[in-house]
Amino acid sequence: MDALYILGNGSRWHNNEIRYSIRSLEMYYDDLDRVFVFGKCPDWLDVIHIPWKDLGNRFVNGFKKRREIMKIEDLSDNFLFMADDIFLQAKFEPKLYYMGTMLDKWKGLPKTSRYHEYASTLTGDKLNYCAHQPFPINKQEYLDLLGDIINPLPGQYPKDLYGNNSELWEREELGFNPKCYSKDENELIEHTKGLPFFSTHDDYDWSKLVSFFEELYPEPSKWETDKIEVTTFDDTEKRYIGYPKYKTTK
């Protein structure tokens, strides 16, 4: 099964999140075949690259990008939809993982919220698939279920709509939240202990986390071309604290 990442215009860590995310896939997902990047691809990744430029608001963009992804002929019919800040820590089996119901997620939402119109249509049997997780998709099933959605309501997410209507994948409720919302690096490390996979955000001082990721995923994946060795961090650019400085070996 192929894996596909959507990447934007870079991160505070020069897209090195995807370096370790792919390493984790190679370590823990035995059926991994090829890796695709949809969007802007780092020049040190030797993957199948599909360029894309966002236009419009994020809800419209989300559905539009996914429609285009489902039309990539070379992408396997079943594929793993990934994000660069998702990391595996145990052998992985593709399932539709959910966390409670959509009603739980939107509980107490005020009528003034832009999400209220969509939230008011939900029933108790709709599950919440918005956990930050590796997400399996069948291309044709996705197009059949969501291909006609052009102007989604705020709060309508492709993962929730696909997850609640797919008939192809086994489902399993998560007993944990993969995403750590704390901005404290030590709390992130504590959060990940014992989890089969976890996710991060972009606001850490990554200089405090590079040894953590190197210990978890020490071997470069076959898709890395730069053969880096992490040495020190360059904090001279004050706008971006925590960028790594790499020593390149030929």
> Residue 231: which pLDDT band, with cuts at 50, 70 and 90?
very low
Overall average pLDDT of the 196-201 stretch: 94
Give me the mean pLDDT over the 144-157 stretch: 79
Taking a C-beta distance cutoff of 8 angstroms, is the pair 230, 206 a contact? no
Mean of the pLDDT values across residues 160-179? 94
Mean pLDDT within 197-216: 91
Q: How close are the terminal C-alpha atoms of the chain, in Å? A: 31
102-125: pLDDT as tens digits: 888 777 666 677 667 777 777 778
Q: What's the average model confidence in pLDDT over 191-202?
A: 94
Range name among 6-10, 58-62, 127-131, 186-190 with the lowest pLDDT average: 58-62
**236 has a pLDDT exceeding 50:** no
- Confidence at residue 21, expressed as pLDDT on a 0 to 100 scale: 97
For 52-94, the pLDDT digits (tens) are 877 665 556 778 889 999 999 999 999 999 999 999 999 999 9
Structural domain boundaries, residue 147:
2-248
Q: What is the mean pLDDT of the chain?
A: 84
- Confidence bin at 154 (pLDDT 50/70/90): low
Per-residue pLDDT, 238: 31
pLDDT of residue 250: 33
Give the model confidence (pLDDT) of 121-131 as tens digits. 777 788 999 88
The pLDDT score that the predictor gives to residue 115 is 66
Domain count, the chain: 1
pLDDT at 58: 59
Q: What is the CATH number of the domain that holds 11?
A: 3.90.550
